Structure 1
């Protein structure tokens, strides 16, 4: 979890959009100033949507937000890829209406990240480890996050040139994988004290085979 959660958080493509938003929007046909305004807009949406997660995470649970946010991000990425593939590929430049639509959809994508994988990519690893290994687990989480931030930051422009509109499908594929991962392998941690977290893993259908000390009596 300390490895896959931060890895998937970066493979949503959020850093690519935030780091290279002016370049990305200019490549879609936006003007220089418009691309900068769009970049500022996505940053504001990300910051504000984080408060949604703060308000509902303890009511809805971590899994619901991660899966729901993943589905919303997949839909947004696929829609943007379709628009760019059909319009930008044939016409070489987006019309004003399609440009606005792309910005709106990207804002929906950023908002989905802001209330799901953005904050919870840090929250979940911080609360799933027992006290004995918590510091080591968090250290791994931070190191992996920074490593993949560096990898995606260095490779995004090359990927954009190679894949063109397919870059959004590339990230949508990773979001699909990570949403399935959460559904299958992440137990719900809402309201569980850190001291009792080990029992979640002992009862989980997969992790109970790995976590030591499990017995059928405990599972009941």
Structure 2
């Protein structure tokens, strides 16, 4: 949320109100949601959090892009809709990807590579953040809707990848981590579906009593 003041100003708020909302309310909301997620993330699971969080993130980004592209944001209702969607994005991101990504990337690594792999992942994360921080102002200047469509599409692709290939690691021991990656979730679903259909075909048809 480095550019929260810019985003709120773009939505039509005054500079004073924009600064208050960006640095005050959104910051407190971010911290509060992150704390809640740290407490309950083991109950929610990694895979569901990544999927529902990414779905909301993608949806809010694409909706904001549509509002800007259609000039609906020029109306009072459109501006406040954009602001509401920004807050929904903050909540969804803070309660899913902001926390779960770091947990998942560290816990799926074997002990011999955990420190190096986790460090490499964090370096890659901050490198991408640096690129986004420097390119976003240029992107927003060129197009008010383009960045939202781009980031929304990237989030949607991530959701699809997580849905198809990310296994659940909640409650899995270190010794069992390798086994959860042997079969991807979509292949496991196909196998269960095929097994269920096979069992259904083999079930004998129950005949009622014969009445003479």
- TM-score category by the smaller chain? 0.7 to 0.9
In structure 2, distance between residues paired with 1:178 and 1:78: 14
Give the one of 61, 64, 89 matched to 1:77.
Answer: 61
> Does 1:38 find its partner at 2:21?
yes
Aligned residues, how many?
A: 186
In structure 1, distance between residues paired with 2:92 and 2:124: 22
Measured against aligned partners, the alpha-carbon deviations of 1:70-103 in whole angstroms (never above 9, x if no partner) come to 11112211222222223367x5xx52x4333221
Considering only CA atoms, is the larger Rg found in Structure 1 or Structure 2?
A: 2
Matches within 5 A, 1:7-156: 18-40=1-23, 41-87=25-71, 91=74, 94-95=75-76, 97-156=77-136
How far has the Cα of 1:50 moved from its partner?
1.6
How far has the Cα of 1:53 moved from its partner?
2.1
SS in structure 1 of the partner of residue 63 of structure 2: helix
Contact 2:11 2:83 (C-alpha < 8 Å) held by counterparts: no
How far has the Cα of 1:44 moved from its partner?
1.7
**Which residue of structure 1 aligns with residue 173 of structure 2?**
193
How far has the Cα of 1:22 moved from its partner?
1.2
Contact 2:46 2:168 (C-alpha < 8 Å) held by counterparts: yes
Is there any run of 5+ residues in structure 2 with no aligned partner, and where? 187-212
RMSD after superposition = 2.1
Is there any run of 5+ residues in structure 1 with no aligned partner, and where? 1-17, 207-220
TM superposition score normalised by structure 1: 0.77
Bigger relative contact order, structure 1 or 2, given CA contacts below 8 A and separation 6+? 1
TM superposition score normalised by structure 2: 0.80
Measured against aligned partners, the alpha-carbon deviations of 1:33-90 in whole angstroms (never above 9, x if no partner) come to 111122122222221112332343222311101100111112211222222223367x
